[in-house]
Amino acid sequence: MKKETKIIVGVLAGAALGATIALALSSDSTSDLKSKVSDFFADLLDASKDKLAGLADKATSVVDKVKDKAAEINA
């Protein structure tokens, strides 16, 4: 990795750490913070499930097409 890249990565990591600490020390109560984080991860999980379901449908479609082509070749 180049020296400039390492510096940029370090700055970004420091900014992320600072933001995390600021969020933890903010005036929000602990339960509010836990609720926000929990909601964020629940939304992320839901979005991931939707994308994986779409991917599974596409994979099934491709497998069906391959089976059809194989049947045409064997016929």
Rounded to two decimals, the pTM is 0.41
pLDDT digits (tens, 9 = 90+) for 12-70: 888 888 877 777 777 666 677 777 777 888 887 888 887 888 878 888 888 889 999 88
Evaluate the CA torsion angle 48, 50, 52, 58 in order and state its sign: negative
* pLDDT of res. 74: 83
* pLDDT of res. 5: 81
Q: Which two tokens stand for residue 39?
A: 């909601």
Q: H helices within 1-74, ranges in order?
A: 3-24, 30-74
CA–CA separation, 19 and 26 (whole Å): 10
